[in-house]
Chain A
């Protein structure tokens, strides 16, 4: 099985779906001639030509809106944001138009559109370039939100997203683009809304997605040395959220830690924590704990950034606290 970088897995998903369906096209800043700001779309202009790989001006409101109109009128746009931080100047098109037009029209209008690009912090980029948006987009009815942590999941989920026929937020990460994993040659799809147990364990359920999944893996290794056996669930899709998988796991482990790159208020950990207390109250041997960002914008200085960003030690501590081993 070939090893693919995360960026290559995303590229392959787009290429395969574009070969399969003429109506799929990619638009965004630097996606064509520049071969992608992060080289995700490298070579795609050569294969598909400028009609289907389209460089846009720095005009997120404009091209997100053009994507919405094109989707209403029968095409399947993949709209790339150089980062989701830049989507904010065009976010009305996503929240008010892409997410709501089908509902407001009584189901007459279809909205098959993907908004994708890097999300969340990527080192010392300062406060405006470091936001994890998945919980923000998940707040809104009418959007499905995906944030894969590994190349295999990314490819299978992006292919499903392109075929889904609905507005999808597909989150990536600058820091994961180079990450490698074996990805099969033959075609495969991963269903939207299904999480995966990526490490089986008996002591604590750790729920972690995106970059946070890798923190959970690191923490689980450290905890294993202390004889604590973590079960790691990667939800893969943020919305719809596979709560059943989490509840089932908690009924086995009786303890849970959620690792979430959101700020704490109204983040994914908040919602998932609520669902766990509702659906697994009698199974919990300890309050659910979470590791999140503080309620603070991203700082620049290296030492402050390291304080701000979640780390494996925090996950270890949270797991120990639900084990009452602190």
Chain B
């Protein structure tokens, strides 16, 4: 055994690049089966996620609400692309960077913003906050704050679908920090062993909080699938059409053959891990490189190049989204806080108040 001195356990040194993007698809929207309306809808949806969070950050900085605020900005092609391919009654569960996911899954900008403000009109009635958006009717199962803990839950959603033979699939999303948790391995083993109709997706945005991917995980993330013989792919998450292209194949395969998949969708978050993070662990150049690949700007350029819409139409959509978001801010601001008695509600189902008294 070598007796070389240990200099450091976690690899140190400056990180010049946290992830490498695979090539984007060459297919245009028609080849992928998308109509012009589909493309315009997706542009609007992605832009809504972006503006919603930019305004949310402003409101946070103005002190309108407290708690944590983890922004999804830069990753919108993942939520919009995946959700576009899934059926409305397929089940989705994600981690705490969940605002974009909520918005694509039926939570209105108003209900989303009100939840950030901790208001009774919020999508979780002010009980969950930023990290715990829920829309059970829309098959959106949260919003989860413990890194990796919802990965087995995603498999459980899929287990129920298989048990009920209802043809639905479940999809669980998590950040690259979660791939180091044991929960991922137990969920992968069980999902493959039981052939669960589940899609696991790591949204690899390059950083587990402030620790670059190659400083927190021992090998390429997609290789987690190899140990379980799980089908897998790497996707360019800055390109909407690349996400859609892969998802079409994957969703079909899961639905028809009931087997799990693991996608590593490489993306990037422009903002810090949370609002208190200045991002000193990465270079301006890296951030700029990804911003030059911005999924919303790419789609806008595509729309103009292909003449799917004129600049004026795009401007009109953007104005409309801006208005929707500002209305959501006003709605959240003006909404009432939850009544005091709701502190004791929503713990158990059923009529009986069975909580232990604390007087």
**Which residues of A are at the interface with B, using a C-beta cutoff of 8 A?**
25, 51, 56-57, 59, 61-75, 92-93, 96-97, 101-112, 141-142, 144, 164-166, 193, 239-241, 278
B134 & A105 in contact (Cβ 8 Å cutoff)? yes
A104 & B356 in contact (Cβ 8 Å cutoff)? no
Q: Which of B128, B189, B348 contacts A62 (CB 8 A)?
A: B189
- Bound-state CA distance A97–B156 (Å) is 12
Extra pairs beyond A166-B349, A239-B356 (18, CB < 8 Å): A57-B189, A59-B186, A61-B183, A65-B149, A66-B153, A66-B187, A69-B152, A69-B155, A72-B153, A73-B161, A93-B152, A96-B149, A103-B346, A104-B142, A105-B132, A109-B136, A112-B349, A165-B349
Query: Per-position contact with A for B122-147: 1 when CB-CB < 8 Å, else 0?
Result: 11111110001011110001111010
B134 & A106 in contact (Cβ 8 Å cutoff)? yes
Closest to B126 in A: A106
Query: Per-position contact with A for B20-63: 1 when CB-CB < 8 Å, else 0?
Result: 00000000000000000000000000000000000000000000
B183 & A109 in contact (Cβ 8 Å cutoff)? no
- Bound-state CA distance A97–B149 (Å) is 8
Q: Which of B122, B123, B143, B155 contacts A65 (CB 8 A)?
A: B155
Residue B77 at the chain A interface, CB threshold 8 Å: no
Minimum distance in angstroms from B105 CB to a CB of chain A: 13
- Bound-state CA distance A233–B157 (Å) is 41
A69 & B153 in contact (Cβ 8 Å cutoff)? yes
B146 & A103 in contact (Cβ 8 Å cutoff)? no
- Bound-state CA distance A104–B128 (Å) is 4
Minimum distance in angstroms from B87 CB to a CB of chain A: 15
Q: Give chain A residues whose Cβ lies under 8 Å from the Cβ of B125.
A: 106-107
Q: Give chain B residues whose Cβ lies under 8 Å from the Cβ of A25.
A: 163
Q: Give chain A residues whose Cβ lies under 8 Å from the Cβ of B122.
A: 106
Residue in A73, A102, A110 whose Cβ sees the most chain B Cβ within 10 Å: A73
A240 & B356 in contact (Cβ 8 Å cutoff)? yes
Residue B164 at the chain A interface, CB threshold 8 Å: yes
Q: Give chain B residues whose Cβ lies under 8 Å from the Cβ of A144.
A: 348, 354
Q: Give chain B residues whose Cβ lies under 8 Å from the Cβ of A92.
A: 146, 149
Residue B193 at the chain A interface, CB threshold 8 Å: yes
B190 & A56 in contact (Cβ 8 Å cutoff)? yes
Closest to A25 in B: B163
* Cβ contacts A to B, 14 pairs, < 8 Å: A61-B182, A66-B156, A69-B93, A69-B141, A69-B154, A72-B157, A97-B153, A104-B128, A104-B134, A105-B143, A107-B127, A109-B134, A142-B348, A241-B356
Q: Give chain B residues whose Cβ lies under 8 Å from the Cβ of A110.
A: 349
A69 & B136 in contact (Cβ 8 Å cutoff)? no
Residue B355 at the chain A interface, CB threshold 8 Å: yes
- Bound-state CA distance A239–B154 (Å) is 29
- Bound-state CA distance A106–B349 (Å) is 11
A67 & B347 in contact (Cβ 8 Å cutoff)? no
Q: Give chain A residues whose Cβ lies under 8 Å from the Cβ of B359.
A: 278
Minimum distance in angstroms from A194 CB to a CB of chain B: 11
B190 & A166 in contact (Cβ 8 Å cutoff)? no
- Bound-state CA distance A48–B346 (Å) is 34
B146 & A96 in contact (Cβ 8 Å cutoff)? yes
Closest to B141 in A: A72
- Bound-state CA distance A67–B122 (Å) is 28
Q: Give chain A residues whose Cβ lies under 8 Å from the Cβ of B163.
A: 25, 51, 70, 75
B345 & A107 in contact (Cβ 8 Å cutoff)? yes
B124 & A63 in contact (Cβ 8 Å cutoff)? no
B152 & A73 in contact (Cβ 8 Å cutoff)? no
A166 & B135 in contact (Cβ 8 Å cutoff)? no
B187 & A65 in contact (Cβ 8 Å cutoff)? yes
A66 & B142 in contact (Cβ 8 Å cutoff)? no
Residue in B124, B159, B193 whose Cβ sees the most chain A Cβ within 10 Å: B159
Closest to B154 in A: A69
- Bound-state CA distance A164–B351 (Å) is 11
B134 & A63 in contact (Cβ 8 Å cutoff)? no
A104 & B127 in contact (Cβ 8 Å cutoff)? yes
B157 & A108 in contact (Cβ 8 Å cutoff)? no
Q: Which of A67, A106, A193 contacts B156 (CB 8 A)?
A: A67
Q: Give chain A residues whose Cβ lies under 8 Å from the Cβ of B232.
A: none
Closest to A62 in B: B186
- Bound-state CA distance A166–B346 (Å) is 11
Minimum distance in angstroms from A6 CB to a CB of chain B: 26
Residue in A56, A75, A101 whose Cβ sees the most chain B Cβ within 10 Å: A101
Q: Give chain B residues whose Cβ lies under 8 Å from the Cβ of A106.
A: 122-128, 134, 346
A66 & B152 in contact (Cβ 8 Å cutoff)? yes
Residue in A56, A66, A72 whose Cβ sees the most chain B Cβ within 10 Å: A66
Closest to A54 in B: B194
Closest to B115 in A: A106
Q: Give chain B residues whose Cβ lies under 8 Å from the Cβ of A96.
A: 146, 149
- Bound-state CA distance A72–B153 (Å) is 9
A70 & B350 in contact (Cβ 8 Å cutoff)? no
B136 & A65 in contact (Cβ 8 Å cutoff)? no
- Bound-state CA distance A107–B127 (Å) is 9
Residue B233 at the chain A interface, CB threshold 8 Å: no
- Bound-state CA distance A102–B355 (Å) is 14
A65 & B142 in contact (Cβ 8 Å cutoff)? no
- Bound-state CA distance A69–B135 (Å) is 15
- Bound-state CA distance A110–B137 (Å) is 12
Minimum distance in angstroms from A75 CB to a CB of chain B: 5
Minimum distance in angstroms from A38 CB to a CB of chain B: 23
Residue B151 at the chain A interface, CB threshold 8 Å: yes
Decide yes or no: A107 and B346 within 8 Å by CB, A72-B141, A96-B149, A240-B354 being known contacts.
Answer: yes
Residue B317 at the chain A interface, CB threshold 8 Å: no
- Bound-state CA distance A73–B359 (Å) is 36
Closest to A56 in B: B190
